[in-house]
């Protein structure tokens, strides 16, 4: 699994006091790990700092609310890692 995934899994474990070995690439941050929106702000802050990006949380939330995306696309950790990789790649262009 990518180092991006390992980084965010470690951030989640530290930020939310969740045992690292219970966090899987298939874990859904909200539905499986029980992370609420406030805790996710902490995670977003740590991810923003770690990767030098700005997770577009408001855009993602809007897309989910409008039915244009599912939460799985953004909050299943392997998918979140892929979104982060895209944001990092876009930053370099």
**CA separation for the pair 83, 60 (Å, rounded):** 11
DSSP annotation of 33 reads: T
| CB of 22 or CB of 52, closer to other proteins | 52
53 vs 82, beta carbon nearer other proteins: 53
Strands (E), 1-93: none
Residue with smaller CB distance to other proteins, 46 or 82: 46
* Residue 50 touching other proteins (CB under 8 A): no
Half-sphere exposure in the Cβ direction for 1 (13 Å, CA): 16
Please pick, from the candidates 38, 89, 90, 92, the single residue that binds other proteins as defined by CB under 8 A. Answer: 38
């Amino acid at each position: 699994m990518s180092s991006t995934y390992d980084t965010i899994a470690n951030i989640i474990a530290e930020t939310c006091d969740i045992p690292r070995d219970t966090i899987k690439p298939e874990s859904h941050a909200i539905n499986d790990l029980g992370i609420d929106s406030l805790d996710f702000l902490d995670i977003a802050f740590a991810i923003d700092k770690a990767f030098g990006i700005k997770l577009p949380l408001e855009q993602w939330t809007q897309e989910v609310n409008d039915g244009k995306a599912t939460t799985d696309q953004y909050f299943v950790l392997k998918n979140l890692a892929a979104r982060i990789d895209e944001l990092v790649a876009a930053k370099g262009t």
